[in-house]
Amino acid sequence: MLRLTWVQPEDLLGHELRQARLDGREPSAIEARWRAAGGPDAPERAGASAGRASRYLRLLAEDLLDELADLPSRLAEDEPTDLTAIKSLCAHWPQPSGAPRRAAGRPAPAPDALEAAWLGRAIGCLLGKPVEKLPLDGIRALARASGNWPLTGYFTARGVPGALLDRYPWNRRSAATCLAENIDGMPEDDDLNYPLLNLLLLRRHGRSFSTADVARLWLDELPPGRTFTAERIALRNLLTGIEPPHTARHRNPFREWIGALIRADVHGWTNPGDPAAAAEQAHRDAVLTHTANGVYAAMFTAAVIAAAATGTEDVHACLRAGLTVVPPRSRLALALAHALRLAGTHEHFDDVVDELHAVHAPTHHWVHAVPNTALIAAALAHADGDPTGSVCRAVSGGWDTDSNGATAGSVAGLLAGSPAALPDRWRAPLKNRLATTVADFDGVGFDTLAHLTHLEATRP
């Protein structure tokens, strides 16, 4: 039996109940009806429950998803999705540069810096892939068993007791390609597919692309089987005739998860020194699939990277630039402020992670954008933007390990400015080769991607 993940109504309902509580709606009465009918919780880590629900329960789930969407939110005024409303709440929204990209004082990042950013993204993703979905205790135990804690290199099964691997098995999709003993180039991952798609988006439509352009590109170039959570829901919605931005809202409990954040890098790389433009591009991309804090996470990331792309700012200034595009009373802004305070006051990053988990883990799914973005910011700040320190801290913090490592690596690689600044133990196993199903990019080198990105960053 094919049990397609991330689309079954009876599984979506449990996620929507949790999301409703997070975004200020009161779902108790609807939840009581679901429980009375025998409705299950959402799967904690899998994308679908093992068996199909009855026809009655499935139809009830669809009806209740629609009823939950109609509930009013007490956070609506502080957490809008409309860009004009977001700007009105951001008192320190960055001023648009407006300067031509080839003008003096507005240089694009050098191809070497962009190559380091692409490599950093791949390295962080690859480091996190084997332990994706594992609990924090499992990540720490596996690393300690091989003498790799605190993390300093890729995970390995060498020296790890079999009983420990039985308790905490590697991610099954990644075990054969992402451990130190079997890495042979960068394997395919959605954390790299989406930057490739956005590079393709800019080559076809330029920086004035619309959300509809993103949707058309996905329909043309993105295999549905390579999508997850909010992106898979959005594609389903497109195929049933729902148009953007309603694609982000219709029966989509993942609209504040991490998917839009992992698509943000190219928007930052191609708007050096212009966090406002980077955030606006990220917004047009994100609203195909996400709302509110899911969108802010992408805008924050794009703005941080745009600041880093100048080559003149340290990581702390870049993070401050990112905060200027996040509504200050939003849940994401509060989580980021808390994470940065922790990073500035704790000597040991494990203590930062433990506090973040104590605050967020009881209420958030492990793929939700709020805790993951907070962890990324804390990792970058605590490591002072050092590439190894940033990716290792981000991955060691758990949750969405490959996505967090990828974004931290992108920022830190860009700040490092050159592939040579990334230790060879990280770069060499990648063999300057990326596997993907996106367009004609399979087997592409990171140097080629840097060149193509530089062309978009310097396009008038």
Q: Which residues participate in the annotated binding site for Mg(2+)?
A: 400, 402-403
Collapsing DSSP to helix, strand or coil, 146 comes out as coil
Residues in Cβ contact with 142 at an 8 Å cutoff, skipping those fewer than 6 apart: 131, 134, 155, 160, 164, 165, 168
- What is the number of alpha carbons within 13 Å of residue 161 lying toward its C-beta? 7
Binding residues: 400, 402-403
Q: Taking a C-beta distance cutoff of 8 angstroms, is the pair 152, 392 a contact?
A: yes
Give the tokens for residue 253. Answer: 């409990």
Is the sign of the CA dihedral 140, 144, 149, 151 positive or negative? negative
Q: Taking a C-beta distance cutoff of 8 angstroms, is the pair 172, 425 a contact?
A: no
DSSP class of residue 207 equals G
* DSSP class per residue in 309-339: TTSS--HHHHHHHHHTTS-TTSHHHHHHHHH
DSSP class of residue 364 equals S
- Exposed, middle or buried: residue 86 (CB in 10 Å: 0-12, 13-18, 19+)? buried
Is the sign of the CA dihedral 188, 275, 324, 283 positive or negative? negative
Q: Closest by alpha carbon to 139, among 313, 385, 312, 394? A: 394
Q: Taking a C-beta distance cutoff of 8 angstroms, is the pair 332, 297 a contact?
A: yes
Q: Taking a C-beta distance cutoff of 8 angstroms, is the pair 327, 80 a contact?
A: yes
Q: Closest by alpha carbon to 260, among 219, 225, 203, 211? A: 211
Which amino acid, residue 410?
Answer: S
